[in-house]
Structure 1
Amino acid sequence: MSFDAIAAPLAAALAAKGYEKLTSVQTAVLEEGLVGRDLLVSAQTGSGKTVAFGLAIAPEILAGQDKLLFADVPLALIIAPTRELAQQVAAELSWLYGPAGAQIATCVGGMDYRTEKRALERGAHIVVGTPGRLRDHIERRSLDLSALRAVALDEADEMLDMGFQEDLEFILSQAPEERRTLMFSATVPKDIEALAKTYQRNAVRVQAQGEARQHGDIEYRGLSVAVRDKEHAIFNTLRYYEARTAIVFAKTRAAVNHLFARMTNRGFKVVALSGELTQGERMHALQALRDGRARVCIATDVAARGIDLPGLDLVIHADLPSNSETLLHRSGRTGRAGQKGVSALIVTPAEFRKAHRLLQGAKVVAEWGNPPNADDISALDDERLLADPSFAADVSEHLAMGARLIERFGAEQVAGALVKIWRDGRSAPEVIDEIAAPAAPSAPRERAAFGPSVWFRLSVGHTGRAEARWLLPKICDAGGITKNEIGAIRVQQDESFVQIAAAVADKIIDGTVLENGVTLSRMAGEPSLDRPERSPRAERPAPRAPRSTAPRAPRSEAPDHAPRGSEWADRAPRPDTRPERAERPKPAYQPKPSRYVEDDVAPAPRAERPSAPRGDKPAYAERAAKPYAERGERPAKPYTPRGDKPAYGDRAERPAKAPYKSTGFRSHGGPAGEGRATGFKSHKAEGGSAPRASFGGDRAERSERPAKPRTEGFKSHGAKADGAKPYAGKPRAGASTSEAKPFRAKSAGAAPGKPARAPRPAANASDTSRRFTPPKKPKG
Structure 2
Amino acid sequence: MSFPIETPALQRALRDRGYAEPTAVQSAVLQPDAEERDLLVSAQTGSGKTVAYGLAFAATIMADGALPPPGAPLALIIAPTRELAIQVHAELAWLYEHTGARVVSCVGGMDPRREQRALSAGCHIVVGTPGRLQDHIERRHLDVSALKVVVLDEADEMLDLGFRDELEFILGTTPEDRRTLLFSATIAREIAALARQYQRDALRIDTVARNQPHADIDYRAVRIAAHEIEHGLVNLLRFYERGGCLVFCSTRESVRQLHGRLQERGFAVVALSGELSQTERNTALQSLRDGRARVCIATDVAARGLDLPNLDLVIHADLPTNKATLLHRSGRTGRAGRKGMCVLLVPNSRRRQAEALLASANIRATWEDPPAAEAIRARDQARLLTDPLLTEAPLDDDLAPGQDLLARFSPEIIAAALIRLYRARLPSPEDIAPPPPERPRFERSRVERAAPEGAGAPRFRSGPMVWFRADVGRRKNADPKWLLPLICRVGGVTKRDIGAIRIFDRDTKFEIAEEIAVEFLKSVTAANNPDIRIEPALDVPDAAPPRTGPQPERGPKPPWRGRPNKPGSPRPPGDKPNEQARRRRNKANNVK
TM-score of the pair, normalised by structure 2: 0.73
Shift of 1:325: 0.4
* Structure 1 contact 24–209 (Cα < 8 Å) conserved: no
Shift of 1:138: 0.5
Q: 2:358 & 2:207 partners in 1: Cα distance?
A: 22
* Structure 2 contact 217–334 (Cα < 8 Å) conserved: yes
Matches within 5 A, 1:504-515: none
* Structure 1 contact 38–201 (Cα < 8 Å) conserved: yes
1:112 maps to 111
* Structure 1 contact 256–300 (Cα < 8 Å) conserved: yes
Q: Deviations over 1:739-761 (max 9, x none)?
A: xxxxxxxxxxxxxxxxxxxxxxx
Shift of 1:105: 0.8
1:338 maps to 337
Q: 1:25 & 1:342 partners in 2: Cα distance?
A: 24
Shift of 1:439: 7.7
1:191 maps to 190
Q: 2:239 & 2:315 partners in 1: Cα distance?
A: 12
Q: Which amino acid aligns with 2:100?
A: G
Q: 2:170 & 2:227 partners in 1: Cα distance?
A: 49
1:355 maps to 354
1:33 maps to 33
Q: 2:75 & 2:269 partners in 1: Cα distance?
A: 38
Q: 1:100 & 1:436 partners in 2: Cα distance?
A: 63
Q: 2:438 & 2:113 partners in 1: Cα distance?
A: 56
Shift of 1:320: 0.7
Q: 2:440 & 2:33 partners in 1: Cα distance?
A: 46
Q: 2:237 & 2:193 partners in 1: Cα distance?
A: 42
SS at match of 2:150: strand
Shift of 1:396: 2.8
* Structure 1 contact 81–156 (Cα < 8 Å) conserved: yes
Q: Which amino acid aligns with 1:234?
A: L
1:165 maps to 164
Q: Which amino acid aligns with 1:72?
A: G
Matched, 1:380 2:379: yes
Shift of 1:306: 3.5
Q: 1:293 & 1:71 partners in 2: Cα distance?
A: 37
2:326 maps to 327
Q: Which amino acid aligns with 1:327?
A: L
* Structure 1 contact 224–438 (Cα < 8 Å) conserved: no
2:147 maps to 148
Matches within 5 A, 1:571-720: none
How big is the alpha-carbon RMSD for the aligned residues of Structure 1 and Structure 2?
A: 2.3
Shift of 1:95: 1.3
Q: Which amino acid aligns with 2:261?
A: R
Shift of 1:516: 5.6
- Single out whichever of 89-98 and 231-240 deviates more from structure 2: 89-98
Q: Which amino acid aligns with 1:313?
A: D
2:426 maps to 426
Q: Deviations over 1:600-656 (max 9, x none)?
A: xxxxxxxxxxxxxxxxxxxxxxxxxxxxxxxxxxxxxxxxxxxxxxxxxxxxxxxxx
Matched, 1:283 2:282: yes
Shift of 1:281: 1.4
Q: Which amino acid aligns with 1:423?
A: R
Shift of 1:31: 1.7
Q: Which amino acid aligns with 1:111?
A: M
- Single out whichever of 177-186 and 428-437 deviates more from structure 2: 428-437
Q: 1:16 & 1:219 partners in 2: Cα distance?
A: 31
Q: 2:227 & 2:41 partners in 1: Cα distance?
A: 44
Matched, 1:244 2:243: yes
2:298 maps to 299
* Structure 2 contact 3–22 (Cα < 8 Å) conserved: no
SS at match of 2:80: coil
Q: 1:138 & 1:127 partners in 2: Cα distance?
A: 12
Shift of 1:435: 2.3
* Structure 1 contact 368–437 (Cα < 8 Å) conserved: no
Ranges of 4+ aligned residues in structure 1 off by more than 4 Å: 209-212, 436-442, 514-518
SS at match of 1:20: coil
2:22 maps to 22
Q: Which amino acid aligns with 1:237?
A: L
SS at match of 1:14: helix
Q: Which amino acid aligns with 2:147?
A: L
Shift of 1:302: 2.2
1:86 maps to 85
Q: Which amino acid aligns with 1:52?
A: A
Q: Which amino acid aligns with 1:7?
A: T
Shift of 1:243: 2.5
Shift of 1:63: 2.7
* Structure 1 contact 25–209 (Cα < 8 Å) conserved: no
Q: 2:241 & 2:258 partners in 1: Cα distance?
A: 18
* Structure 1 contact 224–437 (Cα < 8 Å) conserved: no
Gap change, CA 1:93 and 1:403, over 3 Å in 2:
same
Higher relative contact order (CA 8 A, sep 6+): 2
TM-score of the pair, normalised by structure 1: 0.56
SS at match of 2:34: coil
SS at match of 1:53: helix
* Structure 2 contact 4–30 (Cα < 8 Å) conserved: no
- Which residues of structure 1 form unaligned runs of 5+? 443-471, 481-513, 519-780
* Structure 1 contact 273–299 (Cα < 8 Å) conserved: yes
Q: Which amino acid aligns with 2:59?
A: P
Q: 1:101 & 1:390 partners in 2: Cα distance?
A: 46
Matched, 1:260 2:259: yes
* Structure 1 contact 369–437 (Cα < 8 Å) conserved: no
Matches within 5 A, 1:364-763: 364-397=363-396, 398-435=398-435, 517=556
1:10 maps to 10
Identity of aligned residues (%): 55
1:50 maps to 50
SS at match of 1:302: helix
Corresponding residue pairs, total: 451
Q: 1:304 & 1:330 partners in 2: Cα distance?
A: 4
* Structure 2 contact 2–22 (Cα < 8 Å) conserved: no
Q: Which amino acid aligns with 1:32?
A: P
SS at match of 1:99: helix
Q: 1:16 & 1:319 partners in 2: Cα distance?
A: 40
Shift of 1:287: 2.0
1:207 maps to 206
Q: Deviations over 1:1-28 (max 9, x none)?
A: 3334443321221112111111111111
Shift of 1:436: 5.5
SS at match of 1:184: strand
Q: Deviations over 1:441-495 (max 9, x none)?
A: 78xxxxxxxxxxxxxxxxxxxxxxxxxxxxx99xx99xx9xxxxxxxxxxxxxxx
Q: 1:437 & 1:82 partners in 2: Cα distance?
A: 44
Gap change, CA 1:254 and 1:93, over 3 Å in 2:
same
Gap change, CA 1:214 and 1:64, over 3 Å in 2:
farther
SS at match of 2:427: coil
Q: 1:5 & 1:180 partners in 2: Cα distance?
A: 19
Shift of 1:420: 1.2
Gap change, CA 1:323 and 1:212, over 3 Å in 2:
closer
Q: Which amino acid aligns with 1:20?
A: A
SS at match of 2:77: strand
Q: 1:323 & 1:141 partners in 2: Cα distance?
A: 40
* Structure 1 contact 44–214 (Cα < 8 Å) conserved: no
Matched, 1:274 2:273: yes
Q: 1:22 & 1:357 partners in 2: Cα distance?
A: 36
Which of the pair is proportionally richer in helix? 2
SS at match of 1:55: helix
- Single out whichever of 287-296 and 39-48 deviates more from structure 2: 287-296
SS at match of 2:32: coil
Shift of 1:158: 1.3
Q: 2:185 & 2:361 partners in 1: Cα distance?
A: 12
Q: Which amino acid aligns with 1:138?
A: I
2:220 maps to 221
2:459 maps to none
Q: 2:38 & 2:157 partners in 1: Cα distance?
A: 20
1:638 maps to none
1:59 maps to 59
